[in-house]
Every structure is written in C-alpha cells, then in structure tokens.
Amino acid sequence: MSELNLILLGPPGAGKGTQAERLRADFDVPYYAMGDILRAAVKEGTELGREAKEYMDRGDLVPDDLVCRVIVDRVDSAEARDGFVLDGFPRTVAQADALAGAVASLGRRLTAALSIEAPDEDVIRRLSGRRMCDKNGHVYHVEFDPPKNEGFCDQDGSVLVQREDDREETVRHRLEVFHDQTKPLIDYYARQGLLRRFDGTRAPEEVHGHIRATLATLRLEEEL
Ligand code: AP5
C-alpha cells in the first residue's frame, strides 16, 4: 500500500474533526490535530500551552514558529512512516511552506489537501451546538449528530463539554482569521494539483463517502 499523507483544510466548524475521526477508522495512519495538541498543552501547563493560550482564547492563530516545529517533528516520527492525517495544519502560507520542506526532506510528498467547505452562517450554528467528550475529544452536535444519552459520550461514557472558543463572537473572529490567513491555501494547493473539495453542508456520512471515493480514485491513479 502506498503512503497516505493527507491535510484537512476548512473553516472552523466545517467538520474537519468529524471527518478525521471517520478517516482514522478507515486507515491505520496517525492523526495530528493542531488544535487538540495545543489544548492538551494548555491543560498540562507546558511552555507551548502557556504561550498559545492567549491567542487561542481570542480566536487568533498561534505564531507560526510555535506550531511548525510541533508538526514537523511528528511528520518525521517513526509512527508516521506510512502516512499521516493533519487537521488544522497548515493554516498560513508560511506553515504550508514549512510542511512542504519537511515532507520533501524526507523524500516524500503529500497525497492530497481535502478542503471541507461550509458557509459562515452554517458554521456559527454548528459550533454553538458542538459538544465534545471531555476525555478523548469525540465530537457531537446537540441537533445534527446527538449522542445516544444526552450529555454523555457514546464511546466512553465521559461527560460532554462545550469549548471555550465556541462562543459566538469568538467564532465570528475565528472565521475572519480563516478568510484572511487560511483561505489562500486553497489556491496554494490547487496550483500544486493537490486540492480536492467537498461540500461540508452534506450529512457527515455523505461527506465521508465522498472523501473515501476520492481517496480510492487517487490510489487507483497512482497504481496505473
Ligand atoms: P482547532 O481546534 O483546529 O479549531 P478549528 O479549525 O477552528 O476547527 P474546529 O475544531 O472548530 O472545527 P472542525 O472543522 O474540526 O469541526 P467539527 O468536526 O468539530 O483550532 C483551535 C485554535 O487553535 C485556533 O483558533 C488557533 O488559535 C489554534 N490553532 C490550531 N491550529 C493552528 C495552527 N496551525 N496555527 C496557529 N494556530 C492554530 O464539527 C463542528 C460541529 O458541527 C460538531 O458539533 C459536529 O458534530 C457538527 N458537524 C460536523 N459535520 C457536520 C455535517 N456534515 N452536518 C452537520 N453537522 C456537522
């Protein structure tokens, strides 16, 4: 089997984490979500967490130099030898350049940048209803993807919580940051022939089906 080196792009709340969870079940490759890594660092009170917290609370991006090293080390790790799924990285052109350099220095290449797309108003509605498993981060929505027992995770029974940056005014700021700093990556990856776009307003299972079909086609093309 060939390597699967994937990037998930999209605005906050487009469903990157939701699809990543499904892709992790499909493919045996490690998943690195920059937001999860940063939130864990904040919880543990590490130097990275202390520096990142004020940016995250405002809905701003954490400076490139802090996040690039974290991801470059993971991509270069033994567990990522057969591939990886990156969620929330890169988010700036500087981060994309750093990733390209790291991947090239390992003699590898990206398989695809999967762009999950949804309008701002949908995203605001989704994030205000999002709930997450306090222990393992499994994602739900009170209306669109509810757990079987309200307030508790289906997978491990942990309490579901709301993220601090899911307040509406912070979500609106995160969207501005996305349009300003991350959206240019759509063209960046399109120019490289790596971009694959998905309608994130479809139901989660439908989006997942489209991504799987796209990846199957990419693999077939690679074998030809
Ligand atoms: P991060 O944690 O990455 O947040 P984000 O990109 O804003 O993305 P979200 O996790 O909010 O959304 P998602 O697309 O994963 O949606 P989800 O699947 O949960 O980053 C947080 C912060 O960390 C940033 O603001 C920044 O400060 C910092 N940071 C992170 N990476 C950084 C970087 N590279 N550089 C600098 N700073 C960085 O879905 C949302 C909701 O919708 C859920 O409730 C879900 O159940 C529901 N849903 C999902 N799909 C569907 C669907 N198809 N239909 C209906 N509902 C759906």
Structure-token pair, residue 175: 């969207």
**Degrees, nearest 5: CA angle 116-99-93:** 65
The finding on whether 144 has its CB within 6 A of some atom of ligand 1 is yes
Q: Which of 7, 18, 72 to mutate to test the pocket of ligand 1 (most atoms within 8 A of CB)?
A: 18
- Ligand 1 centroid from CA 195, angstroms: 19
Predicted local confidence at residue 202, as pLDDT: 95
Domain that includes residue 158, residue range:
120-162
Backbone angle region of 131, left / alpha / beta, with phi > 0 → left and psi within -120 to 50 → alpha: beta
Cβ count near 72 (within 10 Å): 19
Q: How many domains does the chain have?
A: 2
- The reply to whether 20 and 125 lie within a common domain is no
- Model pTM greater than 0.85? yes
Nearest CA to ligand 1 atom 25: 59
Cα dihedral sign, 37-42-44-45: positive
Which positions ≥6 away from 13 have C-beta within 8 Å? 118, 122, 123, 124, 126, 127, 130, 171
- The reply to whether 38 and 108 lie within a common domain is yes
The finding on whether 198 has its CB within 6 A of some atom of ligand 1 is no
The residues annotated as belonging to the active site are 16, 91, 130, 163, 174
Q: Which segments of the chain have a pLDDT < 70?
A: 1, 224
What does residue 219 show for φ and ψ, rounded to 5 degrees? -70, -40
The finding on whether 140 has its CB within 6 A of some atom of ligand 1 is yes
What is the CATH number for 85? Answer: 3.40.50.300
For the stretch 13-60, pLDDT in tens is 999 999 999 998 898 899 999 999 999 999 999 999 999 999 999 999
